[in-house]
Amino acid sequence: MPVRAASSTTLPPQLARLIKQCSVQRKDLPAQGTTFYRAVHTTETGGLFALERAGSVGVLSLYADFSAEQEVELAAACAETGLSSLYLKRRPREASHAANVEREWLSPPQPIWGQDLPELTALENGVPYLIRPGHDLSIGLFSDARPARAWVRQRAQGSRVLNTFAYTCGFGVSAALAGAERVKNLDLSRKVLSWGQENYALSGLAAPDTDFVYGDVFDWLGRLGKRGEQFDLVILDPPSFARSKAGVWRSERDYARLLTLAASVTAPGGQVLALCNHAGLAPATFDKMLSAGAALASRRLSVTARFGAGQDYPGAEHLKVRALKLA
């Protein structure tokens, strides 16, 4: 269960000091070309809240119960780090159903403090991305995957790339900027694929509709496999939990099956970049699932890299990233 805020009507003064301290610790990121990052992580707040920063705009995610007065106090403390506006996200343990029936309460479209800025461009390692801070619980990019996108940008040159669960196509942008031979972005939402095309345009990349494929990932992996299509790099970045026509997906139960399908479209000697953001799934268990998935596809698997979130996620263990080579 999420950590509960203190019953006091005022926030502990150490929280304001903590926010300022964390902000100072991240001051090198904008100088390195990254203006979108986690300014305060939950490991630093005892699970109470996290603060994302996109330029001068903040996005405050609450993982505990705060009173309206405490929310205002916390917003004011965040604003002291030089923000021009701050948006609020309330994140209950199981937000998937609530997001459909209480969307405006969970993710108010207007800022809790400062001027409304429906969209802005922020940088990640010098690459521009379109961020919409009041759009929804997800604002356009997942900052914890920054090291994984950097890995793709360093290795995708000349590759045929399939980016599954593409969302707004951050991995696709990274592959295209690396000089990939071709990139296919696949997602179940036309809206986020269109958003991805906007991200391509920000970097001056061609974004033909044929490179942005709408549909269920599991269905498409099966279809591509039957066609004999092959990719040198397949990127898997699924949600921890999702519902579709095919049923319920749970990463802690189904990731092996996903890897088996991905292997069917991965060229001999090709790579799979597998991400899992389920905090409750142990790294060793994730590794076993990947090995089992490769074995079901009759492929030999070797792990060439293991990593997680970036420096702005101190102590984070939720994200597990594996670079896999399939013989």
Mean pLDDT of the chain: 93
Residues spanned by CATH 3.40.50.150 within the chain?
A: 143-326
5 pLDDT more than 50:
no
For residue 243, the model assigns a pLDDT of: 77
Percent of the chain whose predicted confidence (pLDDT) is above 70:
94
pLDDT tens sequence across 19-56 = 999 999 999 999 999 999 999 999 999 999 999 999 99
309 pLDDT more than 60:
yes
pLDDT tens sequence across 209-259 = 999 999 999 999 999 999 999 999 999 999 998 877 667 888 899 999 999
Six-digit token string for 93 = 């343990």
Residues ≥6 apart with Cβ < 8 Å to 220: 164, 186, 213
Residues ≥6 apart with Cβ < 8 Å to 78: 19, 51, 58, 60, 86, 113
Protein fold of 143-326 = Rossmann fold (3.40.50)
Residue 1 pLDDT level (bands cut at 50, 70, 90):
very low
Residue 9 pLDDT level (bands cut at 50, 70, 90):
low
Residue 146 pLDDT level (bands cut at 50, 70, 90):
very high
The CATH class of 13-116 is: alpha beta
For residue 165, the model assigns a pLDDT of: 97
For residue 11, the model assigns a pLDDT of: 77
Residue 133 pLDDT level (bands cut at 50, 70, 90):
very high
96 pLDDT more than 90:
no
pLDDT tens sequence across 166-222 = 999 999 999 999 999 999 999 999 999 999 999 999 999 999 999 999 999 999 999
For residue 188, the model assigns a pLDDT of: 95
Q: pTM (2 decimals)?
A: 0.93
138 pLDDT more than 50:
yes
Strand pairing of 57-62 and 49-54?
antiparallel
In 3-state terms the chain splits into helix, strand, coil percentages (rounded to 5) of 35, 25, 35
Residues ≥6 apart with Cβ < 8 Å to 321: 145, 147, 148, 151, 273, 274, 275, 305, 306, 307, 308
- C-alpha–C-alpha distance, residues 99 and 270, integer Å: 38
Q: What is the mean predicted confidence (pLDDT) over 134-154?
A: 96
Residues ≥6 apart with Cβ < 8 Å to 54: 35, 36, 120, 122, 131, 133, 139
Residue 160 pLDDT level (bands cut at 50, 70, 90):
very high
Residues spanned by CATH 3.30.750.80 within the chain?
A: 13-116
Residue 295 pLDDT level (bands cut at 50, 70, 90):
very high
Q: How many DSSP H helices and E strands does the chain contain?
A: 12, 16
